[in-house]
Amino acid sequence: MNNQNKIQTCTLGELMIYQIALSIEDGILAFHGFGSPLVQLALHLAKRNHAPNLVLVAGATYGINPTPAFLTPTTNDFAMNRDAECHLTIEELFDLAASGRLGRMFLSGLQIDRWGNMNVTRLGNDERISLKLPGGGGGCNLSADADHVTIWTAAHRTHADEHGRRRYRLANRCDFITSVGHRTAEGLPRAGMPYRGSGPDCIVTDLGVFGFNQEGHVQLRALYPDTSVEMIAESTEFDLPVAADLSTAALPEPEMIEFIRRLDPLKIHQRELSSADRGRFFQLKEA
């Protein structure tokens, strides 16, 4: 209690975790995958907060509703899977998705295009790979099968090099399409594909919160207290539509922040953030 009373600011990481958590509906089955500490914390926060009936499937262990001892930097760890109520096998999780019973999945990319297609496979082309990325795990399958997808990235902000060039995270095109969004690279709509799921409906970045418009195009929905439309446009390679009801993203409550800090004493989630972003704090409103 005393701790909570002292919490007067939240970090960027905690704001992103809260925003990801807000995308999670109560009563669904959701899977946090691996290499995704912000998402892992968001699922636990959602379950404790507004989604008590969430069927929370831990990535890599496939344990259901665990109470992690603490967040570890490696996802397939007993600490992450402590007291899981029951377990799925790898085939069962993916079968649930294929049969339309995975409510939400969380995916990221080194390149994210305007339709929500993403690349985590490689930069370069078929003849020459300039950067081999780790690969997408089951993201390719789940981007088609999951009912909904939340996209997240903590590296939206770009910096120009000495020649004024930028390597965009939200980019015009993906060098390789690992997971699918609302339209193919050629602009053909998702409706023409026999996918189960309806695609991404939310992107949470280090600069703001985004949705998708009627055409399936990324659209800015909410700023953070220290970001602006201009700043976000500068870090986005494609032209960015802005929602008519653009708002400022809500900050988490002190008890939520306290919960996150307790669950992640090693601050693993901050490893997703740039060192500059680890210094971003937001003043909570007076109670």
Contact characters 176-205, another protein, x per CB under 8 A: xxxxx---x--------xxxx---------
- d(CA 238, CA 170) in angstroms, rounded, equals 8
For 172, other C-beta atoms within 10 Å of its C-beta total 12
Q: Which is nearer to another protein, 115 or 210 (CB)?
A: 115
Provide the 8-state DSSP code for 179: B
Asked if 76 touches another protein (CB under 8 A), the answer is yes
Q: Which is nearer to another protein, 114 or 221 (CB)?
A: 114
Among 23, 72, 153, 227, binds another protein (CB under 8 A): 72
Nearest one of 227, 236, 133 to 175, comparing CA atoms: 133
What is residue 11's three-state secondary structure?
strand
Min CB(122)–another protein separation in Å: 7
Provide the 8-state DSSP code for 2: H
Residues numbered 118 to 137 that lie near another protein (CB under 8 A) are 121-122, 126, 129-137
Asked if 158 touches another protein (CB under 8 A), the answer is no
Q: Which is nearer to another protein, 160 or 266 (CB)?
A: 266
Q: Contacts with another protein: how many residues (CB under 8 A)?
A: 60
- d(CA 211, CA 198) in angstroms, rounded, equals 13
| DSSP assignment of 98-156 | HTT---EEEE--SEE-TTS-EE-SEEE-SS-EEEE----TTHHHHHHHSSEEEEEES--
Residues that bind another protein (CB under 8 A): 34-35, 37, 60-63, 69-70, 72-79, 81, 87, 89-91, 94, 97-98, 121-122, 126, 129-145, 176-180, 184, 193-196, 265-266, 268, 271-272
